[in-house]
Structure 1
Amino acid sequence: MPAMRRILFVIFLVAGVMYAVLHSNLWNTKSLGLSPLNRKLCIFKTNISSFMKLDDFYPFLCKTNFFDIAAIRGSNEFELPYGIKNAEFYFELALSKLENCELFQEDDSSPSCKRCIVVGNGGILRNKSLGQKIDSYDVIIRMNNGPVVGYEDDVGRRTTFRLFYPESVFSDPVHYDPNTTAVLVVFKPPDLKWLSDLLSGHSLSRTDVFWKKPPAKIIYKPDQIRILDPFITKRTAYELLHFPRKFPKREKPKHPTTGLIAIAFAFDVCSEVHVTGFKYNLQDQGSSLHYFGNDTMSLMIKNEYHDIVAEQRLLKELIDHQIVISLTEEQN
């Protein structure tokens, strides 16, 4: 009997320890903001659920577990922009400067089902007066340096998430929005060092590694900044665009645009995805590339880093199969 009591005591002790560990892990996960969108009660008006494997994927990296997440997703086997291999130190350095990795800035009482719109920077948005309609969405996702100030009638005023990389982030404080979460899309290790240096108050050591000199200051506060999991960029390239794993030696490797990465990101945080500003007239090199500025379509056509034709084909398929809804085309 004493032996049996000891065995039962050990069993209860182990069970108690396991409960404490699991409870602690769940609490830590919640405190880190690792609460993916709960779509179980969402009513889908689009076919996202049949198109994507909605596995409650969390889109941002957190300093406490990004090594483990990378191992689970296989990101430790890929170099940037599709993984963390050979850049682990820089990821760890940049993540240590961020104050949180929560999904949304609002509290947990906000509704789980999000109706979202991804606003592209295409010239098709000019004079469409879609600003009020865009602002009506739960979540508004923008990218790069597509301005809101001065273009409110056409593109709206609100921004929930803004995806960027160092060469494309705002430098003028006039564009600062305290309600925006700025999401760094990492393409190379210097992107992470740039972010770490700015948040540490250090001057930039080198800028020749960037195709355009990045800002020496960042307008967003540390608690507003997140780092996108490279797995999303990899998934966009391989699963959505079906890019080859290896390109011919004479051909430059192609990577997804920030806009398409933003749409893939939306699949993870939204229950319904609409898009606007993504339709380009590739046949007219003189047409406006963006709704702002004077750049023309000729710049996009000459771009060797992206496969614009493949992206436009994919977007058409997504719209035709009602995976996403094009707000711009609805207005034409």
Structure 2
Amino acid sequence: MKMRLMSAFLFFFLFVIVSGSISYIYLIWTNYWLRISSLEMTNRMNKPRHVLDRVNHEKSHRKPRYDSPRQLPVGNQPAPRPRPKYKSKEEKILPGRKLSVSELPKDKLYAHIKVYKEQIYAQLRNTVLDAGKQVQSESFPNAYNVTYSGRYGENDIKLSPREILCSAKKHLNIRTFTRENKMFKKLKLERFFPKNEFLEKRHFNSCAVVTSAGSLRNSNLGSFIDSHEVVLRFNNAPTGGEYLKDVGRKTSIRVVNSQVVAKPQFKFLESKIYSKSAVLVWDPSAYNSSTEDWYNKPDWPFFEQFFSKRLMQPEDSMYLLNPDSLWSMWNWLQSLTPVPLLPTPPSSGFLGLLLLLDHCSVLHVLEYIPSMRLTKRCHYYDTEENLGCTLGDWHPLSAEKLLALRLHTGF
């Protein structure tokens, strides 16, 4: 009897051991394949289904995206539907072909743009905050002797575009020198200046501020740019020829910094690009310095070239910005920014934007806020690569662009 009980117990024990081992191996094997399937599914989910494959990559870079006026109209105008694209036999046969951004349904396209806009906003904001922390350091350089004592913009984050525009009219003071300037009269140089301020009492229906950003390359925006009543460009940015398709040829105003005027390689006296349109020259002064101090010690020694140009071509429309205007812009920007700005003058792009802000019914600023064509390339006409050209490593560029985003009335 005892032997039977022992045998039954031993059999039951062995049965439990064997069945437990088999069950354990089965569970491990099942979890392994479940894990593999989960990873494959995650990879498929994380892979953007709407981006172009390598074959269509170049085409995607030629489509206007985030700040393209064709897709992001001003005000409440509806965005035009993308034209249906002809599909080849190969495309009809391949149901798994990936769609380009331009072929996406409008809701998915806008969702894609919204995500990109949030990413750009976060990057610009982080750059401003990091710069603010550095500026507060006692060792941070202050070459322009900036001594700002006004308020910061902690409570202005929720201002509407209209309220920001009203603030700009109230606080900005952008002026150019005329023949009535006392200092230049005293120096007997008044004949080199025009009678009236730049754009005095002028108003336009549509204006385009065309930056020199590398992301304009392969943009196909040339015809759109040339369709504006006024087109503003910067420094030595070329037009026409090989650049015609992307940036057009029309130039109404060219904003030129004093380095371009002073440095021989830019050929300010010889090149025709500085004569075909109205030219506005700017040079920064020290913060709160007098006009006399600035004239005796400009940021760049450009006055000789400037007056030579006026003497050689007196019929040209050429203006000189009062440097107080730059610090008026900087003070206004700081009053709307919650952290200290870089103590350096604003960029040419910001000057161009604010210069036309009160003179145009519709104002398009192209690639100032980087679109989804974002690239490391600084300019569309050269090969230099530097993200500082987009985010700003000298001008308070990121803060300027955040303010421009707040002024944007499109999507």
Category of TM-score, reference length = shorter chain: 0.5 to 0.7
1:187 counterpart = 2:284: yes
1:276 counterpart = 2:389: no
- Residue 137 of structure 1 and its aligned partner are, at CA, apart by 0.7
Structure 2: stretches of 5+ with no match in the other structure: 1-73, 77-159, 286-293
Residue of 210, 217, 233 corresponding to 1:142: 233
- Residue 294 of structure 1 and its aligned partner are, at CA, apart by 1.1
Contact map agreement 2:209 2:353 (CA 8 A) in 1: yes
| Equivalent residue letter for 1:98 | F
Residue of 305, 309, 318 corresponding to 2:394: 305
CA 1:52–1:299 in structure 2 vs 1: closer, same or farther (change >3 Å)?
Answer: closer
State the alpha-carbon separation in 1 of the partners of residues 391 and 327 from structure 2.
24
- Residue 116 of structure 1 and its aligned partner are, at CA, apart by 0.9
State the alpha-carbon separation in 1 of the partners of residues 332 and 194 from structure 2.
32
Contact map agreement 2:164 2:407 (CA 8 A) in 1: no
Question: Who is 2:214 aligned against?
Answer: 123
State the alpha-carbon separation in 2 of the partners of residues 104 and 301 from structure 1.
29
- Is the helix fraction higher in 1 or 2? 2
- Aligned ranges for residues 50-89 of structure 1 at < 5 Å? 50-53=163-166, 54=169, 59-64=175-180, 66=181, 88=183
1:152 counterpart = 2:241: no
CA 1:289–1:231 in structure 2 vs 1: closer, same or farther (change >3 Å)?
Answer: same
C-alpha RMSD of the superposition? 4.1
| Equivalent residue letter for 2:277 | T
CA 1:162–1:241 in structure 2 vs 1: closer, same or farther (change >3 Å)?
Answer: farther
Question: Who is 1:263 aligned against?
Answer: 353
Question: Who is 1:242 aligned against?
Answer: 335
SS of 1:176's partner is helix
Contact map agreement 2:214 2:381 (CA 8 A) in 1: yes
- Residue 198 of structure 1 and its aligned partner are, at CA, apart by 2.6
State the alpha-carbon separation in 2 of the partners of residues 232 and 113 from structure 1.
22
Residue of 273, 277, 281 corresponding to 1:176: 273
- Residue 316 of structure 1 and its aligned partner are, at CA, apart by 1.9
Residue of 159, 162, 171 corresponding to 2:254: 162
SS of 1:114's partner is strand
CA 1:90–1:141 in structure 2 vs 1: closer, same or farther (change >3 Å)?
Answer: farther
Contact map agreement 1:131 1:156 (CA 8 A) in 2: yes
Residue of 326, 330, 333 corresponding to 1:233: 326
CA 1:95–1:136 in structure 2 vs 1: closer, same or farther (change >3 Å)?
Answer: farther
Which piece of structure 1 moves more, 272-281 or 133-142?
272-281
Structure 1: stretches of 5+ with no match in the other structure: 1-43, 68-87, 202-216
- Aligned ranges for residues 320-331 of structure 1 at < 5 Å? 322=409
State the alpha-carbon separation in 2 of the partners of residues 123 and 289 from structure 1.
5
State the alpha-carbon separation in 1 of the partners of residues 318 and 326 from structure 2.
18
Residue of 195, 198, 209 corresponding to 2:305: 198
State the alpha-carbon separation in 2 of the partners of residues 277 and 242 from structure 1.
25
TM-score w.r.t. length of structure 1: 0.56
Q: How many residues align?
A: 233
State the alpha-carbon separation in 2 of the partners of residues 185 and 296 from structure 1.
25
- Residue 225 of structure 1 and its aligned partner are, at CA, apart by 0.7
- Residue 298 of structure 1 and its aligned partner are, at CA, apart by 4.1
Contact map agreement 1:139 1:160 (CA 8 A) in 2: yes
Contact map agreement 2:255 2:280 (CA 8 A) in 1: yes
| Equivalent residue letter for 2:401 | Q
State the alpha-carbon separation in 1 of the partners of residues 299 and 279 from structure 2.
14
- Residue 133 of structure 1 and its aligned partner are, at CA, apart by 0.6
The structure having more radius of gyration, on CA atoms, is 2
- Aligned ranges for residues 16-95 of structure 1 at < 5 Å? 50-53=163-166, 54=169, 59-64=175-180, 66=181, 88=183, 95=190
State the alpha-carbon separation in 2 of the partners of residues 122 and 293 from structure 1.
10
State the alpha-carbon separation in 1 of the partners of residues 189 and 351 from structure 2.
21
State the alpha-carbon separation in 1 of the partners of residues 223 and 310 from structure 2.
29
CA 1:253–1:62 in structure 2 vs 1: closer, same or farther (change >3 Å)?
Answer: same
- Residue 113 of structure 1 and its aligned partner are, at CA, apart by 3.6
- Residue 130 of structure 1 and its aligned partner are, at CA, apart by 0.6
Contact map agreement 1:254 1:307 (CA 8 A) in 2: yes
CA 1:93–1:147 in structure 2 vs 1: closer, same or farther (change >3 Å)?
Answer: farther
SS of 2:358's partner is helix
- Residue 290 of structure 1 and its aligned partner are, at CA, apart by 1.3
Per-residue CA deviations over 1:129-167 (Å, capped at 9, x if unaligned) read 111110111111112222214412111111111111221
Per-residue CA deviations over 1:270-301 (Å, capped at 9, x if unaligned) read 232111021348xx9x7211111011124537
